[in-house]
Structure 1
Amino acid sequence: MKLFIAEKPSMARELAKCLPQPQRQEKGFIRTGGGIVTWAYGHMLQQAEPQDYNRQYKQWKDADLPIIPEHWKLLVSPNSREQFDVICRLIGDADSIVHAGDPDREGQLLIDEILDYVGNTKRVERILLNALDEKSIGEALHDLRDNGDFSHLKESALARSRADWLIGMNLSRAYTLAARRQGHRVVFPIGRVKTPTLALVVRRQREIDNFKPVTYYVVKAQFNHAKGVITAQWQPGDTQAGLDSEGRCIDKKKAEEIVERLRAQPDGTIAEGKKTKKKEAQRLPLSLSSLQVLAGKRYGYSPQQVLDAAQQLYERKLTTYPRSDCEYLPLNQRKDVPAILANLGRLSDKTLSQWAGRADGSIKSRAWNDGKITAHHAIIPTTVPCPYDKLTAVQRNIYFLIAQAYMAQFYPVHEYIQNRIVIAAAGEQFVAHGKTVVVLGWKELYQSDGDDDDEKGELPPVRKGDGVQFRRGKVEEKATKAPPRFTSSTLLQAMKEIYKYVKDDSLKKKLKEVQGIGTEATRATIIGELIERKFLVEEGKKKYLKPTDMAYLLVDSLPDELLYPDETAVWEERLYQMSLGKDSLADFLSAQELFLRKLIAAARNNDGTPQPKEGRVCPQCGGAMVRRHGKYGDFWGCTNYPKCRHTERIDAPPASAAGDGESYVCPRCKEGIFVRRSGPYGPFWACSKEGCRTTCADVDGVPSIYAASSEK
């Protein structure tokens, strides 16, 4: 008997339909003439908690860290016990097994870990289902692979799972305990991906809060040429007076002088006229991340909304596997091109049907590349006709984007001529850029997006040495803008393009090829968890992400190794190499253990004290002061809130610490430090340690108990 184990019930049902003589479903499986099909419910085995290894770990103690299992344990999820028993019984009865997990590293691990758990020794084959329509499943059934070919994919997923456990279980405890020693009643959920993602938002918000716009001036001039009018912009020289470090003119008088000189000396010449023929290849089809980013920008959908809709389309057999990180297509898919384009041409949506009618299926774009395909390919429509009018609004929009990106592959390459004209006049240079479209090509499908480049409009044909005459000019006042706030979609894009945000610039080139941090399936979940746990809140119609006080407290309490994505991005690269068989699970976990011990030691040394990012120290308790945004604007707030409620105006100079830098230790508890307070009868001194209520009078700015003593 051949046993198929699918990742989920919906996949099992579709698979069973494509096997000979499908019979009635029984409890936990479907019997067919081609074998028995059963299913899992996602990860039915879960990582054991620390207390499952040793009861003493149930209580969080610094002395127990790091907790590193010698032998990793998996426990059957209570909600899956009944179905798990069915699978185990069927494995025992089977002659051979077909692994039908999703075609990615998590899907590989999900079924493999069940087989490993029961100690299976029977032959296992692998079926790769990138789509659930009958044609795709039929082809996959005739192309079964040896499951052993995917062992490296399983190792990669296992390494990711164990690394997440080590970081989450150990560092959450280490830094929570450190914060509690400082009096913070908090729990810090630290994650290998989650924490640097949160830190991205906090750093961006601080950039915005501290941003000071720079006013600068741009000179634009129109020149008459025999073949037409040229609008050009002044290009100041490096030694030009009145420029800032970025080469912008910040002296309005200097800019106005340029216009006056042009009026006085209107004659100029063409110093350079350059035309460059360029081509822009078709946009690649969509991966899940690129679909989520595009849908977020165009429709305002959250990443989770997009994933849910893409999953629904997949389960209705209308599109291929949604959790794909690939933007390329295998050559064997080209045989389906006529059928897919024909289906799209019959859609009720006039835009899609018209595009399909003009598509040329013989065009072979750069997307068709077997060398870029792993276990899955880009998300595309299937050969199943789409009942477009019966889809929900979200499903229709997601299907539209997927179909649009697919059809773009069958339009010509976009061709244009890029023009650059340099005009010399009044001793200065003025530059004009233009673009002449030769072949619109695939951009016909994206004209409404307004994302075409800056160099629009045609320029008249010119030759070097041609004369021009100044016509009119103006000085435009502009201001630099703060970086944009993150939304869920743009944060997801930042997670994918993480090389742009690493602290070590030397890593950027290396990490550009990495698929970011997190996976296609988990990024949306991570952002959702940060919002659900109140570390981030969404504001306004565009749902901009804003850090909460708890987010600032967490970020200010952690070292850079956890806040910047450098380490995590390097790990992702290693996980990818492991999936190719070029790295080992043992070496990876060994490096994780060293990293873990280093950061636990750091947590013990800094004792959880937030570092003052702006260099301000609270004069009441000695905690870090951070910039906050409140109902009436920005202010400085103590990170020990709510224990300490000290605040200061943004324009106030940093307040002096108690005793102008002197530390007066409490003589009763020997742990707290005296801080100077104001009361109804004047200043007094009080111990900063929670639970200690020692106070004394103020004598000329010194605690009375120390007024005649040198002890501090």
Structure 2
Amino acid sequence: MQVYITEKPSVAKALADYFNKNGANFKKTPSSYLDSSQHGVITWAVGHLLYLNTPEQYNPELKSWNIATLPIVPTNFVFKKTVYANKKDRFKSIQQLIKDATTIIHVGDPDREGQYLVDELIEEANCTVKRMLLNALDDASIQSALETLQDNTAFKGLSKAAQLRSEIDWLLGMNLTRYFTLKARDGGYTTIMKVGRVKAPTLNLVAERYADYKNHVVTKYQVIRPLIVYEHGELELQPKPDTHFDLGMQADLKAKELTQQQVIIDTYEKKVISTPITELYSLDTLQIDCNKKLSISPKETLAIAQALYEKKLTSYPRSDCKYLPTSQFNAANGIIDSINQTKLLEIEIPHIIDTPLPYNDSKISAHHAIVPTGIIDAIDTLTDKEKAVYTLIIKKYASMFLPPYEYLEVSVDFHNQQNETFKATQKALVNYGYKRLYDPDMTDIKSPMLLDQNTIFIGEIGNTYTISQVNVVCRETKPPKLFTEGTLIKAMSSISTDNKELQTIIKEAKGIGTPATRATIIDELLAENLITHLEKSLIPTPSGLALLSVLPDRLKKADFTAQMEKRLTEIIAEPEKSRKLLEDTLTFIKIIMQDTSISMNNQDVLCPKCNTGYLHLKQFKKESKTYQYYRCNNDSCSMIFPAIKGNAHIVQCPSCHKGFMVSRMNKKTGDIFYACSNYSDTGCKKIMSEKEFLKY
């Protein structure tokens, strides 16, 4: 029996539809598409069905976190795997089909992760395995992939590289998270200090941007803007270089000096700038736009895109590609007809003959851009947010069929008698083009785009003009913008390093994380209280800054990922080097743990008694019940304060105004009450009931 194993249900369906159009008779069953007459079956995974075991699955004693047990390493680097609880039926079904297979066709996504995802399911297969590299689901792409099947053993190195990537991330995450969390607890933190190859540099991006923002000193300055008069108005000149004058008389003196001087044209250029749509949506660019235009988080955007995909309205969402295969152009006009039927766009999209720029076979990766399918049956079932995201996707797709946005640009260079140089630029609208999709009434056109083409400056080299006046303009420096979730996604995908060789590698890897995981990374950093929201922006928390203060630079930057990617590329060609990479990762972990200078001290809450130490949350168990309190870390003070819902509850004695109310227990009744801490020093006998204490 010939068994096709795809990475996702949509690919399995596309194959079944293709085969049925070409004489087969595949019928849907709960677990596959079956054609008994041809002894063929198509089944599918739903992402990874297996996960790497947790430490406690190797040894139950490792459930408790203890520095003495670190580093945790599976014996001989043999990582065990377990089937996800909610995917056991799917795994069992695939394994049964594998047992009966004479030939397996591996149809995982044509990338490193897609190779490994199916390979780990067919490890026990005892038959011929062929590899089908499928980039798109149109008939032409499927036919081409079927005609170029390869032996799956040729991709052994690719699969091994993906396996190693997951094992390296396991070693780093499991060990360093435990290590730094335990170190943080010693310093009074209660946060889980999640450390990972992608999380650390993402947290660092937020922290560095926040530091630049917070440390920015506003500087006011002045610039000068000479004006010359021409037939249709005034042309503003900008000095080259554009000197920033300190506040005072310098700018005014320079303005006075230039007034009535003559300037001569050195160069004059007039051209039409055409800006066609060259790219469509990948997941990260969709997330960026949804966050900016719709205030929808990257995580929610992914969930909505997945819902649109499952309703067959759009293509697969977890894509890092912004292009389409040329073979899909034949379907374009049909999709445009469907879009026009939805009435979601304010203008009608015309048919087109020429292939737009986003159709580019050379730039297709494991997936293609996120685009509408042309199936619109489920339009009426969409929520408001789903409809808003879907509209963004169809606008982007439709925009490539409209004329480019075009404007006329005039660029002029001048000099005066002192050989000081100036430049000037004017722009005039030629064709609003695809921008009418986003702004049908052209209300977003702002000056200088309001210039009429007939009033634009016309000049020739050698022409002389007189500076009629010079404006002095006051300005001030602006701090860098804090990251939003959307702009952080963009920063993760374009992260850089100072090392030129590693920069090339990280650029080829398209940053840190993947389109499918970046939103999750941000969400987890928020959930772990390592970053937080400041209105719509993101800033680090004290816990996040404390963690960064002790992390090695190599892990905080993109360098570690770049170095790993470089080594993984070598593994693809030489899988036998895989153990050395794991050993080097373990050595890196051990070196971090041997650093005796690593310590963190929670300074969130200053002790109000000694004003020297800081309050740290402590807890103890008694008769299976956990009790919490805050204790000053200054040993000469050691003041203890009650913890209410995890926070220090500090109440100064309302009677003596010197002591603080601390918890006590009535030995006879077991009831909690609160008494002044100055009882022994001043004899203050103020007490409060728990109800009264909580009012303060």
- 1:73 and 2:80 are equivalent in the alignment: yes
Cα deviation, residue 412, structure 1: 5.0
How far apart are the structure 1 equivalents of 2:603 and 2:117? 46
Equivalent residue number for residue 410 of structure 2: 419
Quote the residue 1:187 is aligned against.
192
Residue 328 of structure 1 aligns to which amino acid in structure 2?
Y
Residue of structure 2 in register with 1:524 after alignment: 519
Q: Is the 8 A contact 1:46 1:75 kept in 2?
A: yes
Classify 1:153/1:252 alpha carbon distance in 2 versus 1 (closer, same or farther; 3 Å).
farther
Which residue of structure 1 lines up, in the alignment, with residue 685 of structure 2? Answer: none
Which residue of structure 1 aligns with residue 368 of structure 2?
Answer: 377
- For residues 123-158 of structure 1, the C-alpha deviation after alignment (integer angstroms, 9 at most, x for no partner) is 345373745x8x689758955734616545433422
Where do residues 321-336 of structure 1 align in structure 2 (5 Å cutoff)? 321-336=316-331
Letter in 1 for 2:249: K
- DSSP 3-state at the match of 1:605: coil
Task: Measure how far apart 1:447 and its partner are.
Answer: 5.8
> Within 1, Cα distance between the matches of 2:167 and 2:307?
30
Name the CA distance, whole Å, in 2 between partners of 1:624 and 1:536. Answer: 16
The CA deviation at 1:526 is 0.9
- After TM superposition, the structure 1 = structure 2 runs for residues 549-628 of structure 1, keeping only pairs within 5 Å, are 549-572=542-565, 575=568, 577=569, 583-587=573-577, 590-591=580-581, 593-610=583-600
Instruction: Indicate conservation of the 8 Å contact 1:109/1:154, yes or no.
Output: yes
After superposition, the C-alpha distances for 1:72-129 in whole angstroms (9 at most, x for unaligned) are: 221223333344223222221233333344555434322221111x344343453737
The answer to whether the aligner puts 1:490 opposite 2:487 as a matched pair is: yes
Instruction: Compute the displacement of 1:485 (Å).
Output: 1.1
- Does structure 1 residue 199 correspond to structure 2 residue 193? no
Q: Distance in 2 between matches of 1:555 and 1:151?
A: 38
Structure 1: runs of 5 or more not aligned: 238-246, 611-622, 631-636, 645-671, 683-712
User: Aligned to 2:463, which of 466, 486, 506?
Assistant: 466
Between the aligned partners of 2:245 and 2:603, the Cα distance in structure 1 is 36
One-letter amino acid of the counterpart of residue 550, structure 1:
S
Q: In the alignment, what sits opposite 2:269?
A: 275
The answer to whether the Cα contact below 8 Å between 1:284 and 1:327 also exists between their aligned partners in 2 is yes
SS of residue matched to 1:374: coil
Q: Determine what percentage of the aligned residue pairs are the same residue.
A: 32
Tell me how far apart the structure 2 counterparts of residues 384 and 643 of structure 1 sit (CA, whole Å). Answer: 57
Deviation of 1:522 after TM superposition, in Å, equals 0.7
CA contact (8 A) 2:4 2:42 kept: yes
Letter paired with 2:245: C
Going from structure 1 to structure 2, the CA distance change for 1:624 and 1:9 (only over 3 Å counts) comes to closer
Q: Which amino acid aligns with 2:461?
A: K
Which amino acid is the alignment partner of residue 539 of structure 1? L
Structure 1 residue 47, shift from structure 2 partner:
0.4
Amino acid at match of 2:353: G
2: CA distance, partners of 1:509 / 1:276: 37
2:132 pairs, out of 121, 126, 129, with 126
Distance in 2 of aligned mates of 1:423 and 1:625: 59
How far apart in 2 are the matches of 1:153 and 1:453? 51
| Alignment partner, residue 25 of structure 1 | 29
Instruction: Name the TM-score, length of structure 1 as normaliser.
Output: 0.75
1:196 deviates by: 1.0
Residue 292 of structure 2 aligns with which residue? Answer: 297
CA contact (8 A) 1:624 1:638 kept: no
1:206: Cα distance to partner?
Answer: 1.7
- AA paired with 1:461? I
1:545 aligns with 2:538: yes
Q: Among 301, 309, 320, which residue is 1:306 paired with? A: 301
Equivalent in 221, 224, 230 of residue 229 of structure 2 = 224
Q: Secondary structure at the match of 1:520?
A: coil
Indicate the SS of the match to 1:46.
strand
- Unaligned stretches of 5+ residues in structure 2: 619-632, 640-655, 659-696
- Once residues 382 and 583 of structure 1 are traced to their aligned partners in structure 2, the CA distance between those partners, rounded to angstroms, is 38
> Secondary structure in 2 aligned to 1:324?
coil
2 CA distance for matches of 1:380 and 1:24? 26
| 1:2 partner letter | Q
Give the whole-Å Cα distance in 2 for the aligned partners of 1:256 and 1:585.
Answer: 70
CA contact (8 A) 1:261 1:426 kept: no
Aligned residues of 2:156 and 2:572 also touching (Cα < 8 A): no
Per the normalisation by structure 2, the TM-score is 0.76
Paired residues in the alignment total 609
- 1:396-446 deviation per Cα after TM superposition (whole angstroms, max 9, x unaligned): 333333333333433455555543224446955443212345565555556
Pairing partner for 1:315 from 310, 317, 330: 310
**SS in structure 1 opposite 2:555?**
helix
Gap change, CA 1:224 and 1:592, over 3 Å in 2: farther
8 Å CA contact retained: 2:612, 2:634: no
The answer as to whether partners of 2:209 and 2:480 remain within 8 angstroms in 1 is yes
Checking the alignment, whether the CA contact within 8 Å between 1:411 and 1:441 is kept in structure 2 is: yes
| Cα separation, 1, equivalents of 2:612 and 2:392 | 47
Equivalent residue, structure 1, for 2:94: 87
Residue in 1 that maps onto 2:248: 252
Instruction: Call closer, same or farther: CA 1:303–1:506 in 2, change over 3 Å.
Output: same
How far 1:183 moved relative to its partner? Answer: 5.3
Displacement of 1:520 in angstroms is 1.2
Provide the alpha-carbon RMSD of the alignment: 4.0
Q: Distance in 1 between matches of 2:638 and 2:214?
A: 30
Higher mean alpha-carbon deviation, 367-376 vs 206-215, is at: 367-376
CA shift, 1:192, in A, is 0.7
> Does residue 425 of structure 2 align to residue 410 of structure 1?
no
Alignment deviations for residues 155-184 of structure 1 (CA, whole Å, 9 cap, x no partner): 342232112112112222333344345454
Relative to structure 1, the CA distance from residue 467 to residue 168 in structure 2 (aligned partners, 3 Å threshold; closer, same or farther) is same
CA–CA separation in structure 2 for the residues paired with 1:312 and 1:326: 19
User: Conserved in 2, the CA contact under 8 Å of 1:182 and 1:607?
Assistant: no
1:145 and 2:149 matched: yes
Q: Is the 8 A contact 2:135 2:366 kept in 1?
A: no
> How has the CA–CA distance of structure 1 residues 5 and 512 changed in structure 2, closer, same or farther, with 3 Å as cutoff?
closer
1:349 aligned onto 2:344: yes
